[in-house]
Amino acid sequence: MDLNLLNKNDRLPFLIRKSLAPYAGDFARKWQNIRHNNHSGQASQLAAGVLLLLCHRGGHISDPREPGAWVLQLIKRSPLIAQGGDVSCPGGMLHPLIDWAFGLFFIRSGVLPCSPLSFGSARAVAASESKNIISLFLANALRESWEELHLNPLHVSLLGSLPTYSLHLFRRTIFPLVAIVRNDWTPIPNSEVDKIIEIPLTNFFREDSYGRYMIQASETLPTPDQGPWEFPCLIHEDDDGEEILWGATFYIIMSFLQIVFDFQLPDLHSRRIREKTLNPDYLTGNR
């Protein structure tokens, strides 16, 4: 892939929207399964909507002669909350009544420009029920992003949905949505966010960006297996040092890269190794 072309390509939003259109029905199927299992007396499964935010930094997206770079805007979670220190997408837990109302009166009505109903490809591919569920989780992710970062929903344009991802340690299913955010917005993080992390999209196509993350549970962490467990990760360097992208967010981004760019994770056998010990605060936060 020509990475320079990737950075300058004003057709990237169109490519992403077209690539993600066939996955619009996954949200409805997974949400139906969660509701059925929860109502049948099985262990409760929670749901969370998140935004995979793309932002074009430098140059002008509409002028291919101007240099620039696409970045993914992620957050580093505060130690006050569960999974503190992890890099993740903005978003959070679904509140069905609140988010249904938000989706009904703002998104599904077309008031917001990020409405999934405004995209012809989504309308052609997804059934009405699927679009309604996408609206629900888009409202969920936008509400949580407003709380976490003061992200104005009017600054966000939806491109599509990714396959859902289920966690086991937290019994939670993540519903990821890909969107473009205006490059002139100013994040105002709340206490749940340590900082904003911007990773250039080109970094994900460099083999030397990847590594192996060795995770071990401390003796005080209530888990039947202390590890160590090995996970693929991306090692990102910024002004504060290294940030490790791993776990659910890593796999969500890998899914995005595979669907849109046919990208395959490189062999990690000889890659850099990083280590981490999970303490009890990792599961609960230390408020």
pLDDT value, residue 132: 83
Q: What DSSP letter does each residue of 239-267 carry, written as one string?
A: TTEEEEE-HHHHHHHHHHHHHHH---PPP
pLDDT tops 70 at residue 2: no
Structure tokens at 25: 């029905």
186-220 pLDDT tens trace: 999 999 999 999 999 999 999 999 999 999 988 77
Q: Report the distance separating Cα 36 and Cα 169, nearest Å.
A: 21
pLDDT tops 60 at residue 284: yes
List, in sequence order, every residue forming a beta bridge with 237; answer none if it has no partner.
242
| CB distance 193 to 251 below 8 Å | no
Instruction: Give the domain ranges of the chain.
Output: 3-58+69-204
What number is the average pLDDT over the span 13-30? 89
46-69 pLDDT tens trace: 999 999 999 998 765 444 445 578
Does the domain at 3-58+69-204 match CATH 3.90.79.10? Answer given as yes
Helices 12-20/247-261 angle, 10° precision: 100
Structure tokens at 41: 């007396």
List, in sequence order, every residue forming a beta bridge with 242; answer none if it has no partner.
237
8: left (phi over 0), alpha (psi -120 to 50) or beta: alpha
- Count of CA atoms in the C-beta half-sphere (13 A) of 113: 10
Q: Which residues contact 62 (CB under 8 A, 6 or more apart)?
A: 10
What number is the average pLDDT over the span 157-170? 88
pLDDT tops 60 at residue 245: yes
pLDDT value, residue 128: 65
Q: Report the distance separating Cα 136 and Cα 186, nearest Å.
A: 25
Residue 183: closest CA among 84, 53, 52, 20:
53
Q: Which residues contact 49 (CB under 8 A, 6 or more apart)?
A: 91, 92, 94, 99, 136, 137, 138, 139, 140, 141, 144, 174, 175, 176, 177
Structure tokens at 236: 């990102």
Virtual CA dihedral for 102, 106, 109, 114, nearest 10 degrees? -110
Tokens 């010990």 correspond to 277
| CB distance 214 to 272 below 8 Å | no
CA dist 59 → 68, 155, 197, 217 (Å): 5, 18, 20, 45
Tokens 């837990």 correspond to 93
Q: Which residues in 150-164 are b (16+ Cβ under 10 Å) and which e?
A: ebebeebbbbbbbbb
Most trustworthy range by pLDDT among 134-143, 211-220, 278-287: 134-143
Report CA torsion sign: 46, 145, 84, 183: positive
pLDDT value, residue 67: 58
pLDDT tops 70 at residue 149: yes
